[in-house]
C-alpha cells in the first residue's frame, strides 16, 4: 500500500509544504547549531524597564503553538523547554529589503502550528502589558509533518485527545508538548532521586551498579523474565531485585552501598504495577531495622520538604503528612485490629480457616507466609493512609531476614505503608549462612508445591555469607510509587515516561 494513501488531508498538505520549502532552497531540517542564548522563563522572569538593555539581542527557539494573524504582522506563541512566550513578527522587520517572500510565502503559507523555529530580536512589552520578543530574524529549524492533536471526536462526542490515557502513554512525546504540567511530574521525579542521593552520600554511602542480567533471579519472590545468552549457551534472567549483589559488597567491606535499580517482574499490570520499575535499595553495615526506620522517616520528610516546602502532601482527597516520626504497628497487631483474629499462634490449616471466614480466596499451593500476606493485603493494608511502619513479620514471609532478637517465630522486618500501599520494605539482614541455607531450602519445597514465586537458591551468595557479613540493615524503596505519592498521580503509568503497553498495530 502506498504510504501517502494512509495520510490524512492535513498530513498530505504538510508534505506538500515541505516540498515547496525545498524548491525555494530552504532546508526544513538544517544541521548547524542554533545559538540560543535565552529561554522563555528567563525573559518573562527577568525583563523589566530597568533590565531591558540586557534583552536587546535575544536568540531563542521553540515550537509554534498559536498564531494570531494581523495581516502585515503576527502574534505567535512558541513553547521552549521551559514554557510559552509571545513573539511579535512584522513583515518589514524580517524582510527589510524588496523581497518579502520570507514573510508572505514561507512564514504565512508554508509554516504550521507544531513547526520548530528559531528567532532573534529584542524584548518589549505590548500595549496589553505582555512581555514579548520583537523578531528581527526568523529561521525554520524543523518542519512538523503531523498536526498536534487539539480535539478528537468519537461517536459524536468531542473530547480533548490528550486526556485519553491510551494516547498519553503511547505518544508521551506529544503529551509533553500539549500538557506542559506533565513535564513537572518528571522534573519532580528526578528531584526525588537527587534528594535521596544527596541524603545517602552525606552519610558516606557509595552509589553502585550491579548486574541486570543475572544467572539466578534472587533477592525477592517474583516470577522473572527469562532470556538466553548465545555465547555462553545459558539462560539468564532480568533481575527481580539487586539485594544479593549489594549484600556481597557489604561482605567485601563497604560500610554502605545503594543503587537505583531497574527491576523486572513477569507479572500482572495495574495502576501500581508495571513489569519494569525502579527501586532504590540501600544496605548499611553495623545497623539494624530500628535504625533503618528512623533513617527512612528522616529521609522521606526531607523529600517532601524538597518538593513541596512542607511535610504535608496532597494525594487525591487526602492530606498525607511525612513529618517524622511515623506510627509503628506489628503485623500481628495490624491483623488483629482489622480482622479481630489473633493469628500469632496459628498453623497453616488454621490460617486457611481464617481466610475462609474472611472470604479471602487462596491458592491451595501457597504456604503459611503467603496466607498471612493475603490476609494483611486484603483486610489491613488499605487502612494505612498516613505513613506507618508495619513491623515484626512471621519468619515464613521473609526468607532473607534475621530472626527477631526477642520474639520467637518472627523476623526483624518492616514495610512502610502510605496511602494504603507498600512503598518500602526493610530488614535486619540475615547474615547467618547456615540459617540462610535452611530458609532457601524451605523455598525450594514451596517451589516443588507449585509456588512459582518462591526463591531460587543462590549458592554463590551463600558462599559469600560464609566468609562473614557484618550485622547489616537493608531497605528497598519503590521510586515509582513514591513519585506517585509526592506528585499526586493516581497511576504508575503517569510517573513513567514510557509505560509498558500492548503492541500497537502500525500499518
State whether residue 289 is helix, strand or coil. Answer: helix
Nearest CA-CA partner of 368 in 408, 342, 340, 398? 398
**Beta strands 73-79 and 312-315: pairing type?**
unpaired
Cell numbers found for residue 161: 485527545
Task: Check residue 502 and report its DSSP letter.
Answer: P
With contact defined as beta carbons under 8 Å apart, do 269 and 279 qualify?
Answer: no
**Beta strands 157-159 and 152-154: pairing type?**
antiparallel
Question: Helices H, strands E: what count in the chain?
Answer: 16, 20
Which residue spans within 379-495 are E strands per DSSP? Answer: 388-394, 410-418, 421-428, 472-478
State whether residue 75 is helix, strand or coil. Answer: strand
Q: At what angle do helices 368-379 and 348-357 cross, to 10 degrees?
A: 20
Q: SS3 string of 244-269? A: HHHHHHHHCCCCEEEEEEEEECCCCC
Task: Give every CB contact of residue 218 below 8 A, 6+ residues apart in sequence.
Answer: 240, 241, 243, 244, 455, 456, 458, 461
Binding residue per annotation — 415?
A: yes
**Largest Cα–Cα separation, the chain:** 94
Q: CA torsion angle for 217, 220, 225, 228 (degrees, to 10)?
A: 0
Q: How far is residue 52 from each of residues 38, 47, 63, 77, 93, measured CA to CA in Å?
A: 14, 6, 25, 21, 20
Q: How far is residue 291 from each of residues 288, 297, 326, measured CA to CA in Å?
A: 5, 10, 13
Binding residue per annotation — 281?
A: no
With contact defined as beta carbons under 8 Å apart, do 417 and 390 qualify?
Answer: yes
Residue with cell 511502619: 389
Burial class (CB in 10 A: 0-12, 13-18, 19+), 328: middle
Burial class (CB in 10 A: 0-12, 13-18, 19+), 411: buried
Binding residues for Mg(2+): 415, 422
Binding residues: 415, 422
Amino acid at each position: 500500500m502506498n504510504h501517502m494513501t494512509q495520510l490524512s488531508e492535513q498530513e498530505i498538505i504538510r508534505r506538500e509544504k515541505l516540498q515547496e520549502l525545498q524548491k525555494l532552497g530552504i532546508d526544513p531540517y538544517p544541521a548547524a547549531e542554533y545559538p540560543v542564548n535565552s529561554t522563555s522563563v528567563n525573559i518573562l522572569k527577568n525583563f523589566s524597564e530597568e533590565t531591558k538593555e540586557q534583552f536587546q539581542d535575544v536568540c531563542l527557539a521553540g515550537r509554534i503553538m498559536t498564531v494570531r494573524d494581523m495581516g502585515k504582522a503576527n502574534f505567535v506563541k512558541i513553547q521552549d523547554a521551559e514554557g510559552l512566550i509571545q513573539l511579535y513578527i512584522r513583515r518589514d522587520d524580517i524582510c527589510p529589503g524588496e523581497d518579502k517572500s520570507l514573510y508572505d510565502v514561507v512564514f504565512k503559507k508554508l509554516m504550521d502550528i507544531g513547526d520548530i523555529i528559531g528567532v532573534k530580536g529584542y524584548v518589549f512589552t505590548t500595549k496589553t502589558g505582555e512581555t514579548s520578543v520583537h523578531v528581527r530574524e526568523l529561521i525554520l529549524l524543523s518542519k512538523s509533518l503531523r498536526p498536534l492533536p487539539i480535539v478528537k471526536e468519537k461517536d459524536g462526542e468531542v473530547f480533548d485527545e490528550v486526556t485519553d490515557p491510551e494516547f498519553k502513554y503511547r505518544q508521551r512525546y506529544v503529551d509533553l508538548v500539549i500538557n506542559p504540567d506533565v513535564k513537572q511530574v518528571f522534573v519532580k521525579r528526578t528531584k526525588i532521586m537527587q534528594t535521596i542521593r544527596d541524603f545517602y552520600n552525606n552519610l558516606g554511602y557509595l552509589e553502585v551498579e550491579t548486574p541486570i542480567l543475572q544467572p539466578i533471579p534472587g533477592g525477592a519472590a517474583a516470577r522473572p523474565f527469562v532470556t538466553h545468552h548465545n555465547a555462553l549457551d545459558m539462560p539468564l534472567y532480568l533481575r527481580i531485585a539487586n539485594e544479593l549483589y549489594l549484600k556481597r559488597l557489604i561482605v567485601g567491606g563497604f560500610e554502605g552501598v545503594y543503587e537505583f535499580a531497574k527491576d523486572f517482574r513477569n507479572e500482572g499490570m495495574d495502576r501500581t504495577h508495571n513489569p519494569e520499575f525502579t527501586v532504590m535499595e540501600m544496605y548499611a553495615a553495623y545497623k539494624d531495622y530500628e535504625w533503618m526506620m528512623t533513617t527512612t522517616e528522616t529521609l522521606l520528610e526531607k523529600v517532601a520538604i524538597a518538593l513541596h516546602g512542607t511535610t504535608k502532601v496532597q494525594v487525591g482527597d487526602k492530606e498525607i503528612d511525612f513529618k517524622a516520626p511515623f506510627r509503628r504497628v506489628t503485623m500481628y497487631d495490624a491483623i488483629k485490629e482489622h480482622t479481630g483474629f489473633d493469628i500469632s499462634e496459628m498453623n497453616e490449616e488454621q490460617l486457611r480457616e481464617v481466610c475462609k471466614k474472611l472470604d479471602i480466596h487462596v491458592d491451595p499451593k501457597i504456604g503459611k507466609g503467603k496466607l498471612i500476606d493475603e490476609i494483611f493485603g486484603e483486610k489491613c493494608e488499605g487502612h494505612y493512609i498516613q505513613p506507618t511502619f508495619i513491623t515484626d513479620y512471621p519468619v515464613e514471609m521473609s526468607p532473607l531476614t534475621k530472626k527477631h532478637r526477642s520474639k520467637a517465630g518472627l523476623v526483624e522486618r518492616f514495610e512502610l505503608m502510605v496511602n494504603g500501599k507498600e512503598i518500602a520494605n526493610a530488614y535486619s539482614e540475615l547474615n547467618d549462612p547456615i540459617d540462610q541455607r535452611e530458609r532457601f531450602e524451605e523455598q525450594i519445597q514451596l517451589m516443588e508445591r507449585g509456588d512459582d514465586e518462591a526463591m531460587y537458591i543462590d549458592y554463590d551468595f551463600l558462599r559469600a555469607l560464609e566468609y562473614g557479613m557484618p550485622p547489616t540493615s537493608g531497605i528497598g524503596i519503590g521510586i515509582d510509587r513514591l513519585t506517585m505519592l509526592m506528585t499526586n498521580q493516581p497511576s504508575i503509568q503517569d510517573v513513567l515516561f514510557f509505560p509498558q503497553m500492548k503492541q500497537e498495530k502500525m500499518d
